[in-house]
């Protein structure tokens, strides 16, 4: 699996990005958010969940269990890197990647400090939502009504600290002027707050 790890000096923590279906570590939206996090002193890892051969089978793209397994492997890898040693880890998931992030965060031995979902499908994590212990921020666009409803329902199943933030006027991909900047700002504040809190220093 190819990936790009950036850990600024004196980083507060590392955010692992989990892209959605049809995307990759080269997603311009995720890279924009990652850049904003790096500027705020947060480390980031962008990586490909599947090989090109695996992506050819569309069933793999929506296999949340498989995607979560790959995420867990990468999370373990990050923890082994000298520049990330001892740092809290968070997940930033987009679309189906948000479901994989929540699924992986529900694993009993996987300590995750915070999660942010952008236009996510947390409903696809199903019964695992109740087992997520990490504070979770669900960001959705105000003009993405179906996903807003799915996130509202998922929030009700989260037992951890869960917050739903709606970006007014934004559609699913947050392509409107200022929409992605709002996502980056919300994500930066969420991770910075929770990386510095008690869960960030387990």
- Taking phi over 0 as left and psi of -120 to 50 as alpha, with beta for the rest, 119 belongs to left
Q: How far is CA 18 from CA 75, 90, 168, 200, in A?
A: 11, 11, 24, 20
Residue 73: count other Cβ atoms within 10 Å of its Cβ: 12
pLDDT at 138: 98
pLDDT at 156: 92
pLDDT at 34: 95
Q: What whole-number distance in Å separates Cα of residue 116 and Cα of residue 196? A: 16
Q: What whole-number distance in Å separates Cα of residue 121 and Cα of residue 186? A: 18
pLDDT at 198: 57
Torsion (CA) 124, 66, 15, 174 in degrees, nearest 10: -50
- The CA R_g of the chain, rounded to the nearest whole Å, is 15
The pTM of this model reads 0.92
What is the chain's pLDDT, residue by residue, as a tens digit (202 residues)? 557 899 999 999 999 999 865 555 667 888 999 999 999 999 999 988 877 677 767 667 778 999 999 999 999 999 999 999 999 999 999 989 999 999 999 999 999 999 999 999 999 998 899 999 999 999 999 999 999 999 999 999 998 899 999 999 999 989 999 999 999 999 999 999 999 865 554 4
pLDDT at 101: 97
pLDDT at 202: 46
Q: How far is CA 27 from CA 47, 75, 141, 195, 196, in A?
A: 10, 20, 18, 25, 28
Smallest CA-to-CA distance from 23 within 113, 120, 166, 102 is with 120
């Amino acid at each position: 699996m190819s990936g790009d790890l950036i850990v600024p000096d004196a980083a507060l923590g590392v955010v692992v990005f989990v892209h959605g279906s049809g995307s990759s570590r080269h997603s311009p939206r995720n890279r924009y958010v990652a850049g904003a996090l790096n500027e705020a002193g947060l480390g980031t890892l962008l990586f490909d969940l599947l090989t090109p051969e695996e992506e050819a089978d569309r069933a793999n793209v929506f296999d949340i269990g498989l995607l979560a397994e790959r995420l867990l492997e990468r999370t373990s890898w990050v923890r082994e890197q000298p520049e990330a040693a001892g740092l809290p880890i968070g997940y930033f998931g987009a679309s189906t990647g948000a479901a994989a992030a929540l699924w992986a965060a529900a694993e009993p031995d996987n300590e995750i400090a915070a999660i942010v979902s952008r236009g996510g499908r947390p409903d696809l994590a199903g019964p695992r939502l109740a087992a997520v212990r990490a504070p979770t921020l669900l960001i959705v666009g105000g003009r993405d009504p179906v996903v807003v409803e799915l996130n509202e329902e998922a929030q009700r199943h989260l037992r951890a600290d869960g917050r739903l933030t709606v970006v007014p006027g934004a559609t699913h991909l947050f392509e409107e002027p200022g929409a992605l900047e709002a996502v980056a700002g919300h994500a930066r504040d969420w991770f910075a707050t929770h990386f510095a809190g008690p869960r960030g220093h387990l």
